[in-house]
Amino acid sequence: MKRIKVGISGIGRAGWNIHGKTLSKLKDMYEIVAIFDPLRERREEAFKKFHCRTYDDYDHFLEDKEVELVIIASPTYLHGEQTLKAFEQGKNVVCEKPMAENSEKAEELINLAKKYGLIYSVFHNRRYDPDYKKILQIINEKKIGEPFLIKSNYHLFSRRWDWQALKKFGGGELRNSGAHFLDQLLGFYHDEEPEVMFCDLKRTISLGDAEDHVKIILKGRSGLVCDLEISRGCAYPQERWLIMATRGGIWGTETLIKWKWVKEEDIVERRLEEGAAPGRLYNSEKIPWHEESWECPKNLPTTFEAYYIDFYNAYVNGKPPPVSPESSAEVLKLIEKCERIASEGGKQE
């Protein structure tokens, strides 16, 4: 069984806790042969853990001929430049989100990967969230009818005081967690490009100058509205999902989903009445609901593992990667729209 020879750029939180640990579990598929990190203690730790070559210079790291796939897990502001250099050295790339500092850079990188015939993917692992996949399945079954409002919440009360709290490093919740959740919401729009109707970005309780509270409202040509709220300043977190549709709806957390619907044939036919309300009564009807629930199965692969298993199968079989760079570029374009509208007062004119 072929093993992909991997080099990891950055052995910080994501590089160590996500990419390094995940690939160590998938030893039949991947072998970590090199890492780059500017911090000596992290290089020493990686050498002990992975028994690999270590580099304190990114250019020298890219010269390692055994590395065929570079995983870029460096701070956000370095993603674009490190990806470009990797392509110039003939390396395939998996990059943490967001893929670059702006959409123009993203397009440049996509074209460069195509020019050199290299594999390029972005680590949008939350496409593999079991709750998200279940909701997509429920919507596609059409039992609940057509969704017209999807509310997605990610709430906690927790300050940040690390580099993610600083704009100069590409920090802030929009480009951090927001990249994942906007990517999920785009999945509900299929080939539509939704408009950003509203965006509010503010710093509430965190240190630094980057936003820790995000409120975004999207609307597609079909009329579907998506309401995204990411906040590190919420003392009473709401549930992860609330979806309204024409014959029912969905409520859910990351581990429990409930949905109910009324069958079309059970909906009593009514006539519009323009006159006085009979008996001065308000309209009321009994709904014959059907209801189901789902609990997330235990012992599923993590979303990290699921992504890398799919990536491996695509890589060795010459197929496109599980997350295309083009789809990730759409997320980045949406992020830029949100930032522009927030800077102009929040509302789309």
Please report the domains of the chain, with CATH numbers, ordered by start residue. 4-122 (3.40.50.720), 127-301+332-343 (3.30.360.10)
Quick one: which of 69, 81, 60 has its CA closest to 33?
Answer: 69
Specify the pLDDT at position 349. 58
Q: Classify burial at 278, counting beta carbons within 10 Å of its beta carbon; exposed 0-12, middle 13-18, buried 19 or more.
A: exposed
Mean pLDDT of 55-75: 97
Q: What is the pLDDT of residue 1?
A: 77
Please state the rounded mean pLDDT for residues 232-250: 97
- CB of 53 closer than 8 Å to CB of 33: yes
Cα–Cα distance for residue pair 12/169, rounded to 1 Å: 15
Backbone angles phi, psi at 86, to 5 degrees: -65, -45
Tell me the mean pLDDT in the region 139-149. 97
Nearest CA to 331 out of 137, 180, 223 is that of 180
Instruction: Extract the tokens encoding 298.
Output: 């235990």
pLDDT at 223: 96
Q: What's the confidence (pLDDT) of residue 292? A: 98
Q: What's the pLDDT band for 54 if we cut at 50, 70, 90?
A: very high
Whether residue 21 is predicted with pLDDT greater than 90 in this model: the reply is yes
Token couple for 108: 């440049």
Tell me the H-state helices in the chain: 21-25, 40-50, 58-62, 79-88, 103-116, 130-141, 177-189, 303-316, 325-343
Residue 346 has pLDDT above 70, yes or no: no
What does the pLDDT read at residue 348?
63
Please name the residues in contact with 255: beta carbons below 8 A apart, sequence gap of 6 or more: 131, 295, 296
What does the alpha-carbon distance between residue 230 and residue 154 come to, in Å, rounded to a whole number?
5
C-alpha to C-alpha distance for 46 and 50, rounded to whole angstroms: 6
| pLDDT, position 119 | 97
Number of H helices, E strands in the chain: 9, 14
Q: Is the pLDDT of residue 271 over 70?
A: yes
Give residue 257's pLDDT. 98
Q: Tell me the per-residue pLDDT of 1-17, one tens digit each, with 9 for 90 and over.
A: 799 999 999 999 999 99
Instruction: Determine the average pLDDT of the residues in 321-335.
Output: 97
The whole-chain average pLDDT of the chain stands at 96
Percent of the chain, pLDDT > 70? 99
Residues constituting the chain? 349
Q: How many whole angstroms separate alpha carbon 278 and alpha carbon 339?
A: 52
User: Does the structure show a pLDDT above 80 at 274?
Assistant: yes
The CA-CA-CA angle for residues 112, 118, 122, to 5°, reads 85
- The span from the CA of 89 to the CA of 201, in Å, is 38
